Structure 1
Amino acid sequence: MNKYNTISISPFSSSTEKEHYLLSCNGRYFEVNQPLAELLTDLQQNETQEAAIQTYINKKEGKYTFEQTESLIKKHIDPLLTIPKEKKCTFLYEKELLTAATVERFSKRFSFLFNRKFMWSLLSIATVMDIFFFINVPDLLVFNNRANAFGMAGLLIFMLVSSFFHELGHASACKYCGVKHGSIGFGLYLNFPVLYTDVTEIWKLNRKQRFMVNIAGVYFQCFFLIVLLVGFWMTGDDMLRYMILILNLGFLMTLNPFFKFDGYWIVSDLLGVPSLRKRSIEIIKYYWNRIMRRRIQQMPYLLRIGLAERWGLAIYAAIVNFFMGYYFIYIIPRFLYNFLLSFPGEMQELILYLSNNLTPPFALMRNIGMQLLFLALLGYLFTKMIRSLKKQNSKNGEQA
């Protein structure tokens, strides 16, 4: 059997001015240009590598020599055959909760919801109703300190059910678009605990279909949102208000384009630029090397796409790099500073309540709990980063 037939080739939908293709091997996906895709096709269609190289050289009318083409195969195609099946880990920690087969029992039943007109109508209605809620509800952010443990447990259950339905939306959209989805799991991204769905195969889809899959989680949660908004207007119940606020906070987090949540992939689809974070750093390195008069090995992706997308990527690169710097240089140090100032006093207050057999206020428990959780996640994040750096330095030492 021809070993190159284990690599599949399909057109790739992006904003590059020249046509690109998607290679799939061992569950991993790679974007390549047209000449490389043509060379791989020749390797698959010929019995020997020598015959494939000669066919390719004839197609290119002698543009490449036999040695150059052979070197291209060794450098860019052969390594794909030895790449391990394990996918690149996005999370600091991840744990599968539901297998792909289990998720499929639900996703195939909900895939009918992706009629385009119905989907955009519901998203529009939910958006208008949500804006009306924020404009017209008085004391929107006032929290009732009399909330009891049962109410808090109810909110937690709601968050879990809503998050599961969000992930089911991604899986159902995959089913509708005709690609396989993977499992649903729990992961730790930076210092954010998240649920995730493996939708790696959506790279085979066009940009509009990928956009549909990536917005599908929010779309499914909009069903919850509309029901909650109607219920709140009819009853004015505080618990429904809290649920609506929790959903909106979730929307802000998941549609954030700076971290690798849904918003990041949505912007990637709109611009037609895969590996958006990498490309945003790539352009900064390019101009820095030009200023320092260093050798430019490869033109950045930004200069190989259309004008509108080029401006979009340039703006995104500026904003995202500023935001990430702001987060790590200002937000985290400020949290640690405030933690050192306030936490000892809050713990003393908690001990005082408990020693007098009094129930501590919910606000106090919330502050202590959130600070400890955030601190624990930060500790885990930096521990993983230090271990990763040590591992990388160890590899570099072995290579030297």
Structure 2
Amino acid sequence: MPKIAGNIEFTNFSKSEYLLHDTIQNHYVKISNEVYDLLCLIDGKKSIHDIIIAYNNQYDLELTEEFVHDLLYKKLQPYGLLEGENENLKKYKKPGYLNLSFIIFNENLLKKITPFFGFLFKSKISICVIILCIGIIGSCLYYHFDLYSSFNLRNSLIYFFILMAMSTTFHEIGHASSANYFGAKHGGIGGGFYLFTPVYYADVTDVWRLPKKQRIVVNLAGMYFELIFCSLIVVFATLILKNSFLAVLASIVCIKTLNNLNPFLRSDGYWIFSDIINKPNLMSHAGKKVLSIFSKKQKKWKGEDFLLFFYGLISYSIILLFVYYVIIKNPNSILLFPKNLYNFFKNLFTRGAEFSFSEFAQLLVPMLFFYLLFNFIKGFIISKKDKLSKS
């Protein structure tokens, strides 16, 4: 007599899909409308045999007990679907692309802050704020164009990084505030490393329960808040401090946030594109779609299938071009990497030695190469283990 666990919630995700949410382990699993209809027949009183008869009679199908048993107890139960079945439950894991992550502002502290920013997401207010902020940033760059064109960022890195840290914090508060405004839960704000680059992140996984348009707004909210923050700094620097340098620096930081629209890195652009085509694991789906062209069994493609295919094709092309550049065009960066890394840290901690950010930037290329190589080998080993365990 299977029974749905009390910690399981269902949310309509799209026209053909529902979202199964385990509120304890914080798992989110997409299921089809057909699977959802089957799960709705589970009430703790019917046996699997009775559920199958009711479902087959209702939809004129011929589901077997073996199929339904595997679906419930092997595929869905690891996500906490059934009450009293606590074996082989999957524990929540942090995203694999985020390394050395840690919490900076915990969930309880953030919950005290986010409600105050809800008014910024009302449509009329948000439109006025965006137009005003764009006008402020644009005017700053226009009237201080000479200072901007001759701006030496290297001599101002410490100020730039401080302003960047403050702006990025506000960026993540924007994500959390928008999630709270639309009724989704949010976790804390943390830090970590993505492709050897320090990053901030806000845990807003629960927004998958929201409609597509609201999810896109949540993903755009970070840049929206950075625009507001930088505009306030420009106004404060211009009217109060009379400091054109700080105003231009804030404008540069504001322009920098447009990098988040890049859909080929796991930033806001990636999640926006993922929301548009309703694919939470975008990179994985895109890779499978590219490989599917070599399959003998070809299904008729829809519009989103073509989007996934071209997205995956471009992603793989970028990786191949990067590998070609490293191995063919610049092999010394790989061969001399240990020596260059040793010399860099030696100079970094040697008094009187020159510290060069350009040297550090050159180290990032081989570091990224070894990171990709490590993930490829790890994925290959895991896939081999999975095949052996299934056999």
More deviation in 178-187 or 112-121? 112-121
Provide the secondary structure at the position in 2 that maps to 1:194: strand
- The equivalent of 1:103 in structure 2 is 110
Contact 2:99 2:192 in 1 (8 A): yes
Task: Give the root-mean-square deviation of aligned CA atoms.
Answer: 3.7
Summarize the alignment of residues 302-317 of structure 1 with structure 2, pairs less than 5 Å apart. Answer: 303-304=301-302, 307=303, 309=304, 312-317=307-312
Contact 1:192 1:377 in 2 (8 A): no
User: What per-residue deviation string (whole Å, max 9, x for no partner) do you get for residues 234-267 of structure 1?
Assistant: 7572343233223322331x22100111111112
Structure 2 residue 220 is matched with structure 1 residue 220:
no
The equivalent position to 1:140 in structure 2, one of 136, 148, 155, is 148
Contact 2:136 2:231 in 1 (8 A): yes
Give 1:269 deviation, angstroms: 1.9
Would the alpha carbon gap of residues 259 and 390 (structure 1) be closer, same or farther in structure 2, given more than 3 Å must change? same
Would the alpha carbon gap of residues 141 and 43 (structure 1) be closer, same or farther in structure 2, given more than 3 Å must change? farther
Would the alpha carbon gap of residues 209 and 332 (structure 1) be closer, same or farther in structure 2, given more than 3 Å must change? farther
Contact 2:212 2:275 in 1 (8 A): yes
Distance 1:280 1:84 in 2: 25
Give 1:387 deviation, angstroms: 5.4
- The equivalent of 1:181 in structure 2 is 186
Contact 2:167 2:226 in 1 (8 A): yes
- The equivalent of 1:251 in structure 2 is 258
Q: Equivalent pairs: percent with the same residue?
A: 26
Contact 1:191 1:374 in 2 (8 A): no
Distance 1:172 1:228 in 2: 20
Would the alpha carbon gap of residues 40 and 248 (structure 1) be closer, same or farther in structure 2, given more than 3 Å must change? same
Provide the secondary structure at the position in 2 that maps to 1:5: coil
Distance 2:136 2:166 in 1: 22
Structure 2 residue 35 is matched with structure 1 residue 36:
yes
Distance 1:310 1:212 in 2: 24
Give 1:375 deviation, angstroms: 5.7
Distance 1:366 1:101 in 2: 38
- The equivalent of 2:160 in structure 1 is 155
Would the alpha carbon gap of residues 133 and 335 (structure 1) be closer, same or farther in structure 2, given more than 3 Å must change? farther
More deviation in 56-65 or 312-321? 312-321
The equivalent position to 1:19 in structure 2, one of 16, 19, 25, is 16
- The equivalent of 1:366 in structure 2 is 357
Contact 2:167 2:230 in 1 (8 A): no
- The equivalent of 1:208 in structure 2 is 213
Would the alpha carbon gap of residues 396 and 34 (structure 1) be closer, same or farther in structure 2, given more than 3 Å must change? closer
Distance 2:326 2:134 in 1: 30
- The equivalent of 2:9 in structure 1 is 8
Would the alpha carbon gap of residues 71 and 155 (structure 1) be closer, same or farther in structure 2, given more than 3 Å must change? closer
Structure 2 residue 198 is matched with structure 1 residue 197:
no
Contact 2:175 2:219 in 1 (8 A): yes
More deviation in 81-90 or 377-386? 377-386
Contact 1:5 1:44 in 2 (8 A): no
- AA matched with 1:8: E
Distance 2:142 2:316 in 1: 33
Give 1:34 deviation, angstroms: 0.9
Would the alpha carbon gap of residues 181 and 139 (structure 1) be closer, same or farther in structure 2, given more than 3 Å must change? same
User: What per-residue deviation string (whole Å, max 9, x for no partner) do you get for residues 194-240 of structure 1?
Assistant: 11111111010000110111111101001122234446777572343
The equivalent position to 1:281 in structure 2, one of 283, 287, 310, is 287
Summarize the alignment of residues 69-108 of structure 1 with structure 2, pairs less than 5 Å apart. Answer: 69-81=68-80, 82-87=88-93, 89-90=95-96, 91-108=98-115
What TM-score do the two structures reach when normalised by structure 2? Answer: 0.78
Provide the secondary structure at the position in 2 that maps to 1:23: strand
- AA matched with 2:167: S
Distance 1:109 1:35 in 2: 41
Would the alpha carbon gap of residues 371 and 231 (structure 1) be closer, same or farther in structure 2, given more than 3 Å must change? farther
Would the alpha carbon gap of residues 127 and 271 (structure 1) be closer, same or farther in structure 2, given more than 3 Å must change? farther
Would the alpha carbon gap of residues 121 and 334 (structure 1) be closer, same or farther in structure 2, given more than 3 Å must change? farther
Provide the secondary structure at the position in 2 that maps to 1:138: helix
Distance 2:166 2:12 in 1: 37
Provide the secondary structure at the position in 2 that maps to 1:242: helix
Would the alpha carbon gap of residues 330 and 380 (structure 1) be closer, same or farther in structure 2, given more than 3 Å must change? closer
Equivalenced residue count is: 370
Distance 1:65 1:372 in 2: 57
| Structure 2 gap segments, 5+ residues each | 81-87
Structure 2 residue 119 is matched with structure 1 residue 112:
yes
Contact 1:57 1:66 in 2 (8 A): no
Distance 1:193 1:122 in 2: 30
Give 1:128 deviation, angstroms: 5.4
- AA matched with 1:288: F
Would the alpha carbon gap of residues 122 and 288 (structure 1) be closer, same or farther in structure 2, given more than 3 Å must change? farther
Would the alpha carbon gap of residues 391 and 366 (structure 1) be closer, same or farther in structure 2, given more than 3 Å must change? same
What TM-score do the two structures reach when normalised by structure 1? Answer: 0.77
Give 1:397 deviation, angstroms: 5.9
Contact 2:2 2:48 in 1 (8 A): no
Distance 2:363 2:313 in 1: 33
Would the alpha carbon gap of residues 69 and 172 (structure 1) be closer, same or farther in structure 2, given more than 3 Å must change? same
Provide the secondary structure at the position in 2 that maps to 1:106: helix
Contact 1:53 1:70 in 2 (8 A): no
Give 1:174 deviation, angstroms: 1.0
Give 1:271 deviation, angstroms: 3.2
More deviation in 160-169 or 136-145? 136-145
- The equivalent of 1:267 in structure 2 is 273
Would the alpha carbon gap of residues 119 and 327 (structure 1) be closer, same or farther in structure 2, given more than 3 Å must change? farther
